[in-house]
Structure 1
Amino acid sequence: MDPLDFTGRAVVVTGGTRGIGAAIAHAFRAAGADVLVCGRSPSDVPGFMRADVRDPEQAAALIGAAVDRFGRLDVLVNNAGGSPQVPAGEASPRLHAKVIELNLIAPLHVSQAAYPVMRDQPEGGSILMVGSVSGTRPSPGTAAYGAAKAGLHHLATTLAVEWAPLVRVNSLIVGPLDPRLAAGVVPLGRPAVPGDVAGACLLLCSPLAGYVSGAALAVHGGGEWPAYLAEFRGAAYPPQK
């Protein structure tokens, strides 16, 4: 039996209409899963439902729709998030509140709605928080975003304890997707691409990770070269001829 075969499984991906979310949804569909995605703007992507998961009622409606359509819920990927680049000293209180609401409070809303469904299934379920390296190191220009992602990682560890043993909760620490940040910065020599994140999601939600809960899996190509080792970067990434 293929441990990465999700046939008969039901998956919800928030923010699943573009970028990382779309890649995650596509990967689960390709693995045989029934997938429901949501976003705040209308979309013609397969299995779409319009929902603003910052609103707890809409978050609950999203989970209810998945159960109505598929009869179960096996995987929730809390992917919706993001932030504009604004220095902390210039950002308005409203912006900071909205960023934290989207990146931390909304995943909690959706997870709370998903938990009783998964808890009452014999097979339980798996919840993933799509985090960021911004939550593990300074995040200049996106201070509230980095703080929210740090909170998201902590939230995953707490829910993993509270909701065990039937519901596993993990998070991903996703590295930069900006190609400009790859050369000489990321040890693997390239930025992350959406498919890298999608593959990690399949792994963590599969039986291969059946004993993994409360973990934060780094999907960042080895991280970033320390500034004090700048001289070694030249040796690692010699000029191309």
Structure 2
Amino acid sequence: MQMNTLVVSGASRRFGLLVAEHYLKLGWQVIALSRQSSPELDTLVGKGVCWLACDYEDKASVLTALKQIEEQVSSVQLLVHNASYFAVDSEELDAWDQLERFNRVHVQAPALINYRLQPLLTNLDQPGLIVHLSDIFADRPRAVHARYCASKAALENLTKSLALKWAPGVRVNSIQPGPVKFLPSHSDADRARVLGETPLGYEAGFEPLLKALEYLVDNQFVTGSSLKVDGGRSIA
């Protein structure tokens, strides 16, 4: 029996690391993409995860990783684009340069990988699944993050476009996280403000995102959808 294969980006920490660990425990072959490894990812590599260096801002790096994937597996059941670049609109960086960086990470690299791996994902009996980690602010942008939000909105459109283009052999969906897990750089005031804007009002951690991913994996009749996991913040 052929082993299921997961390819996940941004896998050295946070949600990407959790996804890699979860599917490894389920017996999947896991290919983890990230610019650099981490002690936590190294531990998973020791347990069987395949780590490939892949910088989503560098086309040559992405192409090298793709070639390695194609040499190792004949099919992919799940592709999760978790790699992300988040920053406020910079007064120091040229708008062109910063938007290009956002687009490379959130649109160009995912699109390149999707198109190259589409033959490995296509299966009419059990369609392969692509999941883009987007953001609730793709639909409800914030002025200070205009460039970031624009690139995530493009990723949402890519989700729907490819869902149409590749059905029925490949399903394509997105997950739009809200404030599930704060960064260490967030101050107590930041946390209080964000949670105050969130109807459910607590920091949920990554488990709800993992449950959302599992839902998309299990429900074969879902494609072109954007699943919000935000504690209601997008409607507040």
**Superposition TM-score, scaled by structure 1 size:** 0.81
1:116 and 1:154 map into 2 onto residues whose CA distance is 21
1:127 and 1:215 map into 2 onto residues whose CA distance is 11
Query: In the alignment, what sits opposite 1:218?
Result: 228
Q: Secondary structure at the match of 1:170?
A: strand
What is the RMSD of the two structures over their aligned residues, measured on CA atoms? 2.3
Matched, 1:173 2:176: yes
CA contact (8 A) 1:84 1:142 kept: yes
CA contact (8 A) 2:74 2:120 kept: no
CA-CA distance at 1:32 after TM superposition: 2.3
Query: In the alignment, what sits opposite 2:6?
Result: 11
Letter of the 2:177 counterpart: V
Letter of the 2:230 counterpart: H
Query: In the alignment, what sits opposite 1:234?
Result: none
Query: In the alignment, what sits opposite 2:146?
Result: 143
Letter of the 1:102 counterpart: V
| 1:106-130 superposed Cα distances (whole Å, 9 cap, x missing partner) | 1111111111212267533100000
Q: Secondary structure at the match of 1:137?
A: coil
1:96 and 1:26 map into 2 onto residues whose CA distance is 32
When structure 1 is superposed on structure 2, of 105-114 and 182-191 the one drifting more is 182-191
CA contact (8 A) 2:12 2:37 kept: no
Structure 1 stretches lacking a partner, 5+ long: 1-6, 227-241
Query: In the alignment, what sits opposite 1:229?
Result: none
CA-CA distance at 1:217 after TM superposition: 0.4
CA contact (8 A) 2:99 2:151 kept: no
Within 5 Å, give how 1:32-47 maps onto structure 2. Answer: 32-43=27-38, 44=42, 45-46=44-45, 47=50
Query: In the alignment, what sits opposite 2:110?
Result: 107
CA contact (8 A) 1:174 1:219 kept: yes
- CA pair 38-164 structure 1, distance change in 2 beyond 3 A: same
When structure 1 is superposed on structure 2, of 160-169 and 89-98 the one drifting more is 89-98
Letter of the 1:69 counterpart: Q
- CA pair 66-121 structure 1, distance change in 2 beyond 3 A: farther
2:172 and 2:225 map into 1 onto residues whose CA distance is 8
| 1:140-159 superposed Cα distances (whole Å, 9 cap, x missing partner) | 32211111111111110000
Larger Rg: 1
Q: Secondary structure at the match of 2:199?
A: coil
CA contact (8 A) 2:134 2:177 kept: yes
Q: Hey, which bits of structure 1, 4+ residues long, moved more than 6 A? A: none
CA-CA distance at 1:27 after TM superposition: 2.0
| 1:169-198 superposed Cα distances (whole Å, 9 cap, x missing partner) | 000111123344553221112134222212
Which one has the bigger helix percentage?
Answer: 2
Q: 2:131 aligns with which of 124, 128, 131?
A: 128
When structure 1 is superposed on structure 2, of 176-185 and 194-203 the one drifting more is 176-185
Q: 2:195 aligns with which of 183, 190, 195?
A: 183
How many residues are treated as equivalent by the alignment? Answer: 217
Within 5 Å, give how 1:30-69 maps onto structure 2. Answer: 30-43=25-38, 44=42, 45-46=44-45, 47-69=50-72
CA contact (8 A) 1:66 1:72 kept: no
CA-CA distance at 1:199 after TM superposition: 2.0
